[in-house]
Structure 1
Amino acid sequence: MSTSIKWRKIKRNISKNNKIRFFDLSFDLLCITGFDGYLKQVNPAFCRIVGYTEEELLSRPYIEFLHKEDQSKIKNYDFNSYDKETMQLPHMEVRYICKDGTYKWIAWTATIDINEELIYGVGRDITDKKTLEKTNMELNSIVEASTDAIIVIDRDGIIQSWNGGAEKLFGYSQSEIIGQPIQVFAPEEKKEECDKIVQKVLDKGAFEHFETIRLKKNGQRVQVFNIVTPIKDKEGNVTGIIALIRDNTEKKQLENEIAHLDRLNVVAQMAAGIGHEIRNPLMSVRGFLQLLGRQEEYQKDKDYFHLMIDELDRANAIITEFLAMTKRKPSNPERGNLSKVIEELLPLLQAEAINNNKWIVKQLEPVHDLVFDNKEIRQLLYNLVLNGLEAMETGKKLTIRTYMEDAEVVLAVQDEGKGMPAEVLERLGTPFLTTKENGTGLGLALVFRIARQHKARVFVNSGPSGTIFHIRFPTHSF
């Protein structure tokens, strides 16, 4: 035998041995499959991953080892769809049923040999990847289904993820907010607080929970409850933050209403005890002033008498409002329509606005009839409109709306003032609370009292562009 022939034979043996060694040592599943549907050869990794011996795998059609839902993939698979140049078949992912009853996801890459009627396949176990994908899909579904805002930010405080709950709460779409700093919806006085909370979570790697105020896209302030927790990698390093933000408006509203009721009870006790006792001597003084004012010797002081009588009348009006705060039920409830009441009262309200170079816009939709005290609802509306007009500069407009929502009749009064500070909003409706130089602080307190007596709820949103009151009346009778 010549030396060249000998070396060619040695090379063939080395090549064959290397192929066998590669076949046996591969961590991926390697197999040769015949056109008859049977496996012809499998490597040790194949046996190890699915739990069957080589004999068991070669003795049955390979389709029997597949999950029932994936068997149809093989039955409908077009083996003629291979690439004519590379002879490679389309990629496929199927589940193999293991001997212990579990299943493994295997991603297959294969080439076909038409002449030998064989398919050479390389499979990779992607079960962990599929499990992770499924878990992520489930988590994403939970996140998207959540009514709470769920936001992910990186270490620089930049928003990376924004769910549907966040979009609904704040009004920003994902395309608008992704890539923006988390401070974008913090009011100016809360930006420093926001920075400190983020830095604290990043530094300590512990979660924080707190109540605060945030801004919607339209500038409206909203009470929220925040739970902020760190995102950590395998080494425990904080890589980002998840913030769960819940609209706390109704809870704060309820707390404020309870506190408001407590304060009103104190007012009621005071009013019941001293209201009439104060009014009686005032009326006596007023009567004597009128009597003295008619006498000739006091005609030179007539203007002073008128001023004193006017001030007594003003004090009497305050006492009347004060006593009205103690009423627990509407005096004369009857069926009526809120939009109709507004139409009737509108000329008076328009005159008040025009006198101050302001105007009123009405947007009245058809609403269900209610049972209410007509005089008190007029008083509520007048107080709300007067409050809004006084909050605005000249040339601004006030909008009155009525509409149906969630089986409730909604009255909305919106001004274009500068809004109210947070400390005033928290105590709104408290008797004698006022920011006006000549205000009594009883107008809005009376609004809250009338609303409560009619089982209506009051919601107030205020920001730099103005304040809006929503009074939501239940359609059932009280």
Structure 2
Amino acid sequence: MKMELADRMSGLGPGSHLCLFYEQDPAEQMPALVPFIRDGLAGDERFIYIADDQTVEELAEHLEQDGIDVAGETRSGRLKLFTRAEWRQPGRLDSQSKARQVRQFAAEAARAGFKGIRFAVEMTWTLGPKIEVHDLEHWEATLNTLFEPSFPSRIVCQYNRSRLAPEVLIAALHTHPEAIFGNAIYPNPFYAAPFILNGNGHGNGDLTNGKLARARLDWMQAQIERARKVELDHQELCRERAARAEAEASKRRAEASEQRLRAFLEQCPECVKVLRPAGTVVEMNAAGLRMVEADSPDRVVGKSVFELIAPEDRARFEAMHERVCHGTTAGLEFEIVGLKGTRRRVETHAAPLSDPQTAGFLHVAVTRDITERKRAETIKNRLSAIVESSDDAIVSKDLNGVIMTWNAGAERIFGYTAQEAIGCSVTMLLPEERHDEEPEILSRIRRGERIDHYETVRRRKDGRFVDISLTVSPIRDAGGQVIGASKIARDITVRKRAEAELRATRDQLGRLNEELEERVRERTASLTEAITQMEEFSYTVSHDLRAPARSMRCYAKIVLEDFGEHLDAEAKGYLERIMRGGERMDTLIRDVLTYTRIGRRQLELVPVCLDKLLSDLIQQYPEMQAPRAFVTIRSPLLEVRAHEPSLAQAISNLLTNAIKFMPPREVPRITVSTEPRASRVRLWIEDNGIGIKPEYQHRIFGMFERLPTSTPYEGTGVGLAIVRKAVEKMGGSVGVESDGLTGSRFWIDLPGI
């Protein structure tokens, strides 16, 4: 209560006018007066104390005991101690005269620079003669009208119950808005100062009987205290209700906060978990369950977290866990192994969490998957190593052309160290006459363009010029905004020198070529004539050789048919060998004729529909049809410009080869498809045959080339030569792809439509 009284007395507002009732001991006044005085002095207000019969020295001693420097405050003029003789005016108490005295005190305080004035008046001064109760009542009522808002004033009037008459004390209650009883300030329901000043106040003439006056005073005080108690009870009830409401609100806020926290934890992209000192999982959020590949909390809650730690990191994790459970925060980077065996690199930040059940600590941690970050760091480190080991100059710069990075290659080419170059403008490398290049380069970079293989000249630190080829690319931030440029500069000085030498050599060769071409033209004419004659001779010879071969085969067949029963097995075998030899001879001659005919023919190229051509070929040859062979055409095939008969001959030979060169008991499966190649079309013929070893692939399109195989296959060795001859005559090319084990992929390139 004393603390509450001190707080109330320190917080009195301007114009406050209180009466303080006490019994006998002046020490009863001090709990209210000391904070009242101290607050005024601290606020640089003048304080006037009107003492009782007790000496001023006795009052000063009380104030000193309560911590107020009476001597110092008195010297400063802030504190003034008066006796009642100095305060009381002679003659009858006159309110107006007394009011002028109070106003004079206030004016003097204002002139002295104080911020307000306070009074503490011991009312025993009213015991003197010529002071009537109604005069005192009128004066106390008048005091309520004297204080001005511009100069704050406050007053406490002290009434000694044992020395003052009851009617005086009743008058005090009629004229003070608040009263102090004991250690409390009470609102005064009997306050009637405005009515007193208007002549309608309470009269005390009916209280001449001292007992009645005392009884009325006691009743008034009891009413004031009862009203205060009712008010306090009401306040206490309100506080209790407010406390209950606040407790319920706090509970709701706590529940809402817990719900928000749980929602946050469930939505948090990092693993949040709580562990017991034994390492068992108490709780883990959804992100954590995904991280350890658990499809429900039951897979991990109540189980040891150590089983999820990679064996090589488990000891370090257990040591960290032990530190956290002893009250220390910690962090660790390690690997986990999910329930499905997936390894992840993670980093965790752990802190101790008080456990009210055990008075110890739980382990709460936030764990982040850094697998991708580590992979990116590895790639970045590799790229950095590549950049640093590159012979080319690799430099980055901002959009103002200021160098930001500088590798060892740049130091070798330009002569500046990284320390010398970083932070400088890239224009230090430009010769005077090329300073206009950099603004143009930066302008294109700002537009997001890339500059490839731009050949120019730069200046080294030693002043020498170096020929370089520049490739400049824009550098973008995470939002795609261009923030700089990456430049790769390759020293092409040696290449430029070689190019100059090459040009000189080319000029010399040009002169020699002119001479050579003249000779070649002369010899070509002679050679062309000789080739024409040779082709005609070859055709004639091949044609004429077919007749003896046919005769030999026919006569052998006649002998075998007419005289076969008179011949032994050996003789029959010889005749059959003669017939087969004749057939091979005829086939060979036919192939040679075809080869020669293709070489001599002038081919007219026209659009050819490959779908129709392939369909017709397969219909003509039973061996290309199921079940003897399965040929798949991936339609639609692209059209080509070709000589249709020659192309049909080439494709027929390739399909025949694919069917013929098969492993024993294997059914041929052939796929035909096309694909565009710029202005040309590539035709693919893919088989499942014996394949062609890489070392033989350059030979197979030559005349009479037959490759070694473990199984003998019939043939003249001219079929693929015909393919090559026909395709090249149509302006195309032919080739093969094979590993020698799993079939072959022959291709023909021809002009597209």
Give TM-score, length-normalised by structure 1: 0.49
Larger Rg, first or second structure (1 or 2): 2
Larger strand percent: 1
Give TM-score, length-normalised by structure 2: 0.32
More relative contact order in 1 or in 2 (CA 8 Å, sep 6+)?
Answer: 1
